[in-house]
Structure 1
Amino acid sequence: RRAIVKLGGSTAHAAEMKSWIAALAGSRLPIVIVPGGGLFADHVRETQTRMDFSDTAAHAMAILAMEQFGHVILDRDERLTPARSLDEIGRALEAGKVPVWLPSSLALPALDVPASWDITSDSLAAWLAGKLGANALLLIK
């Protein structure tokens, strides 16, 4: 049994963020953390308006924004490990580690992930849950 836990970027400034990360990092259940884009994705939205670049470029940048928040999460607890592919996620889980998904390598080339603002970190978490055959998807916002 596997679960995907999406940790929203909106939690970045919440007092509970430290507690959430500690609880997730200490999980004995096989979970994968999916970071939201948060402030990093908000900056992409604002910059797209000012610089007038395509939704395709903005989509790529928003996915990279998720990775930026992922690195913030990884920095908070040494029990967490980065994972960029399904194989890396599987190896981390088999080793009893808690992977934090850094989505660009898997999501950007995926033909079933359209380059659109309609694709959110929540929908990418659900997409990953399907790819991994996860039994649960939890959203922390």
Structure 2
Amino acid sequence: MWVVKLGGSLSADPVLPQWLDLLAQLGGGRVTLVCGGGSLADEVRRLQSHWQFNDLAAHNMAVLAMAQTAYQFNALNPALQLATSRSDIRRVLHKGQTALWLPFELQREQPDGQTNWEVTSDSIALDLARRLNAERLVVVKSCRMEGAPTLAQLGEQGIVDARFASLAQGAAFPIEVIHKGDLEGMRALLYGENRVMGAGRGF
């Protein structure tokens, strides 16, 4: 089973339908899709900056932003099946379909290590991949990446969140961070071709 995280920045991108079609067609039975919050999460940041409310409220609002993106992706491609829990995800995959995660389980009543802006949907996808015993994590970004940067370098550049590289240490599965334009690379990976696509080699 794989976890694929699509950055919320793809929400209004012309390439989005191609990604959703690819994951629906070739990811059936093995891919769980995690959505970023995109501009909706950016609005949470803006409101928090304006009103200075706490990180717990901002976290819960950002989780809802991820869920709204998931509903959008499902509306654009209903073949992607909404799932709210690990048991739901396994049920969808067992039926040979691609799971689209609604992260309501991340809502919190008390702050914890995830209720801050150092942990975004990138690290949330990584945590889900661990909890599902995934075989691979692919993070799809809109940002161009020069050369083959490490996860730590991507964190320094703000391409992945500040905690991602440290949380990825010791992961039992490979992690790739790829550009939204590399649809063919993702297709090749799903077909089982051995191609090194992006960052995070060795993790």
| Interval containing the TM-score (normalised by the shorter chain) | over 0.9
**Whole-Å Cα distance in 2 between the matches of residues 54 and 111 of structure 1?**
10
**Shift in Å at residue 12 of structure 1?**
1.4
**Shift in Å at residue 13 of structure 1?**
2.1
Contact 2:89 2:101 in 1 (8 A): yes
How many residues are aligned here?
139
| Structure of greater Rg | 2
User: Structure 2-normalised TM-score?
Assistant: 0.65
The reply to whether residue 20 of structure 1 matches residue 19 of structure 2 is yes
Contact 2:7 2:140 in 1 (8 A): yes
Q: Give the corresponding residue for 1:89.
A: 89
The reply to whether residue 9 of structure 1 matches residue 8 of structure 2 is yes
Deviates more, 1:10-19 or 1:79-88: 10-19
Gaps of 5+ in 1: none
Greater RCO, CA 8 A, separation 6+? 1
The amino acid of 1:38's aligned partner reads G
| Root mean square deviation, CA, Å | 1.6
Gaps of 5+ in 2: 142-203
**Whole-Å Cα distance in 2 between the matches of residues 37 and 11 of structure 1?**
10
**Whole-Å Cα distance in 2 between the matches of residues 93 and 112 of structure 1?**
30
User: Structure 1-normalised TM-score?
Assistant: 0.92
Q: Percent identical across equivalent pairs? A: 37
Cα gap change, 1:129 to 1:59, in 2 (>3 Å): same
The amino acid of 2:3's aligned partner reads I
**Shift in Å at residue 114 of structure 1?**
2.3
**Whole-Å Cα distance in 2 between the matches of residues 140 and 114 of structure 1?**
21
The amino acid of 1:3's aligned partner reads W
**Whole-Å Cα distance in 1 between the matches of residues 39 and 137 of structure 2?**
23
The amino acid of 1:9's aligned partner reads G
Which 4+ stretches in 1 moved above 4 angstroms?
109-113
**Where does 1:43-62 land on structure 2 (aligned, <5 Å)?**
43-62=43-62
Q: Give the corresponding residue for 2:79.
A: 79
